[in-house]
Copies of this chain bind each other. A is one copy, B any other.
Amino acid sequence: MSGSLAIIGLGPGEARYLTPSALAALESASDLVGYGPYLDRVPAHARQTKHASDNRVEVERARHALMLAAEGKAVAVVSGGDPGVFAMAAAVFEALEAGEPDWRKLSISVEPGITALLAAAAKAGAPLGGDFCAISLSDNLKPWEVVTARLTAALSADFVISLYNPISKARPWQLGKALELAATIRAAETPVIFARAVGRPDESLRILTLAEAIAAAGTADMATLVMIGASATRLIAREGENPIVYTPRSVTKSPCVTSQGRT
């Protein structure tokens, strides 16, 4: 089959974070498929057709992209951040596996991008200095008990934890609950980062304690990446600027993994 499909990460937003490899893949496409606001970031091009869709219909969008590619088009599916991290790549492969056998003959590639946890960490300092994990707080695709089991495991084993999709109108309480759970295992003064729209003109970074973060949970939104420090995560104060948040590379104490937390 002559069609192709590139699944492309736009990075955090501004063009200066888009890799040349992803840019080249965008420019060689005949058809762009994606959530409207991501497509809006790609400059209009006379030769290209944009197919915008709602944010909630990933698998339908993926099927549409595969059908266009099967017709011989050079299709680019665009995601914010990295397409493999809570974005479109997995949806495309779900649609591929469930779809026409011939689709497997298409040329399919994935272009990585700077995901929100890397952009947020760079803005804050080096909070990911130790082992870390990323958890989507959305319970649209998994039971809430899976989210809390994973959070508990990551807290108990002292990972730095990045929370994607922390809050939305349809999911107003999950972030508060997650932070309250964190406070049963981590100290109240543990640094927590609310990084909103990092890499875009309206970016903001708030460095809170875990106790403050619980009170501020309602001020986060879907553009916010929430990062909970490990037990060793520290601040370096600076005059007239945000403190630097970092996690030292060395670990001396041993976390004890139990569902009751570290002992």
A interface vs B, CB < 8 Å?
7, 9, 11, 14-21, 24, 58, 82-86, 89-94, 96-97, 104-105, 108-115, 118-119, 121-123, 125-136, 141-143, 145-146, 149-150, 152-154, 156-159, 234, 236-239, 244, 246-259
Instruction: For A94, list chain B residues within 8 Å (CB).
Output: 246, 248-249
Instruction: For A238, list chain B residues within 8 Å (CB).
Output: 104-105
Instruction: For A92, list chain B residues within 8 Å (CB).
Output: 126
In the assembled complex, the CB of A81 is this many whole angstroms from the nearest CB of chain B, namely 10
CB-CB under 8 A for A96 and B250, given A84-B126, A89-B129, A128-B84: no
Q: Which of B111, B158, B250, B259 contacts A257 (CB 8 A)?
A: B259
CB-CB under 8 A for A122 and B112, given A16-B20, A149-B254, A249-B141: yes
Instruction: For A127, list chain B residues within 8 Å (CB).
Output: 84
**CB distance A123 to B110 under 8 Å?**
yes
CB-CB under 8 A for A11 and B19, given A90-B129, A123-B110, A248-B94: yes
Number of copies of this kind of chain in the complex:
2
Q: Which of B7, B150, B156 contacts A131 (CB 8 A)?
A: B150
CB-CB under 8 A for A255 and B89, given A16-B20, A125-B110: no
| Cα distance, A250 to B142, chains bound together (Å) | 6
| Cα distance, A238 to B240, chains bound together (Å) | 56
Instruction: For A97, list chain B residues within 8 Å (CB).
Output: 234, 236, 246
Instruction: For A19, list chain B residues within 8 Å (CB).
Output: 11, 16-19, 114
Instruction: For A112, list chain B residues within 8 Å (CB).
Output: 17, 114, 118-119, 121-122
Q: Which of B89, B122, B149, B246 contacts A157 (CB 8 A)?
A: B149
| Cα distance, A125 to B93, chains bound together (Å) | 8
Top 5 closest A-B pairs, CB basis? A90-B129, A133-B133, A142-B251, A89-B126, A153-B157
